[in-house]
């Protein structure tokens, strides 16, 4: 696994205190992101696989603490830095469930990646970090590019992204969870030279699903509600 950079986002200060996580803004831009994140959490309401919003006050966003932190850190607790495949099926199902709900509520995450998916004390998924998220009215709605350079979709390099970009991000996330590395070289801006799967990793069904999520044409990527059917 590799730590992804994020050149487009100034980092907020994250504090852990008495069973909660406090995200504290460090600039006017990060205040704006925290306000967006607050509004998204309020719009989404409660969901078992989305980070639990507790409070917002004066540039500080408070969330419930996740004992196992994010998926990248959790993977790092294993000798080969790979989460066992018998755990990955449930993790991917829960992420897909959270994202299906987000899209049902007309919210696009726009920065879905290992570092933005957390595990609570019971190792249940909590999708978080909605600072780049936006509400949308249709799946083809275009937004300005945002997110993490190494994970950019083909449409990122054409100057836009849509809610279907979340599907690409989920495909990248699944590939990285199973294989331990990204499906593309970061300098392959056309995204047409995918890495091959390591031998013996992932079932043919999982590999086919990931490859469909990494379709160059966003309209060819399966929606999260159909992904859930494939993962059950």
Stretch 22-38: mean pLDDT, rounded? Answer: 90
pLDDT digits (tens, 9 = 90+) for 57-102: 988 999 999 988 899 999 999 989 999 999 999 999 999 999 999 9
| Under 8 Å between Cβ of 40 and 102 | no
Query: Which residue carries 């993790």 as its tokens?
Result: 91
CA–CA distance, 100 with 109 (Å, rounded to integer): 11
* pTM attached to this predicted model: 0.91
Choice among 111, 120, 129, 188 that is catalytic = 111
Answer yes or no: is pLDDT of 26 > 60. Answer: yes
Residue 18's pLDDT band, with cuts at 50, 70 and 90, is low
- Helix 224-231 with 85-104: angle, nearest 10 deg: 150
Position 190 pLDDT exceeds 70: no
Q: Range with the lowest mean pLDDT among 96-110, 140-154, 184-198?
A: 184-198
Q: In the predicted model, is pLDDT for residue 128 greater than 90?
A: yes
Range 20-48 average pLDDT: 93
pLDDT of residue 134: 97
Sequence length of the chain is 232
Asked which of 4-8, 146-150, 193-197 is least confident by mean pLDDT, the reply is: 4-8
Could you tell me the end-to-end alpha-carbon distance of the chain, in angstroms, rounded to an integer? 26
- Smallest Cα–Cα separation from 151: which of 197, 185, 102? 185
Q: pLDDT band at residue 184, thresholds of 50, 70 and 90?
A: confident
Residue 222 — pLDDT band, cuts 50, 70, 90? very high
Res. 5: pLDDT tops 70:
no
Percentage of the chain lying above the pLDDT 90 cut: 72
Determine the average pLDDT of the residues in 101-119. 97
In sequence order, the 6+-apart residues with CB closer than 8 A to the CB of 75 are 1, 81, 82, 83, 114, 177
CA distances from 126 to 91, 118, 188, 193 (A): 10, 5, 31, 32
Active site residue 111: yes
pLDDT of residue 8: 39
Where is pLDDT greater, at 112 or 4? 112
Domains of the chain in start order, with CATH, are 13-64 (3.30.200.20), 71-231 (1.10.510.10)
Q: Is the pLDDT of residue 7 over 60?
A: no
């Amino acid at each position: 696994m590799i730590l992804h950079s994020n050149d487009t986002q100034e980092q907020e200060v994250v504090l852990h205190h008495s069973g909660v996580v406090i995200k504290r803004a460090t600039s006017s831009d990060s205040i704006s992101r925290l306000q967006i994140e607050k509004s998204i959490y309020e719009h989404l309401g409660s969901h078992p696989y989305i980070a639990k919003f507790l409070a917002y006050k004066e540039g500080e966003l408070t969330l419930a603490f996740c004992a196992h932190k994010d998926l990248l850190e959790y993977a790092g607790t294993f000798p080969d830095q790979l989460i066992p495949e018998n755990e990955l099926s449930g993790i991917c199902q829960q992420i897909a469930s959270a994202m299906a709900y987000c899209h049902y509520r007309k919210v696009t995450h726009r920065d879905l990646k290992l570092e933005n998916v957390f595990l609570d004390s019971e190792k249940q998924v909590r999708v978080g970090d909605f600072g780049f998220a936006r509400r949308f009215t249709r799946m083809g709605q275009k937004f300005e590019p945002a997110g993490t350079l190494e994970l950019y979709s083909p449409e990122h390099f054409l100057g836009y992204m849509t809610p279907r970009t979340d599907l690409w991000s989920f495909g990248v996330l699944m590939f990285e969870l199973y294989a331990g590395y990204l499906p593309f070289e970061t300098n392959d801006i056309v995204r047409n030279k995918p890495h091959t799967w390591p031998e013996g990793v992932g079932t043919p069904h999982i590999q086919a699903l990931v490859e469909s999520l990494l379709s160059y044409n966003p309209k060819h990527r399966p929606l999260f509600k159909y992904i859930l059917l494939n993962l059950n």
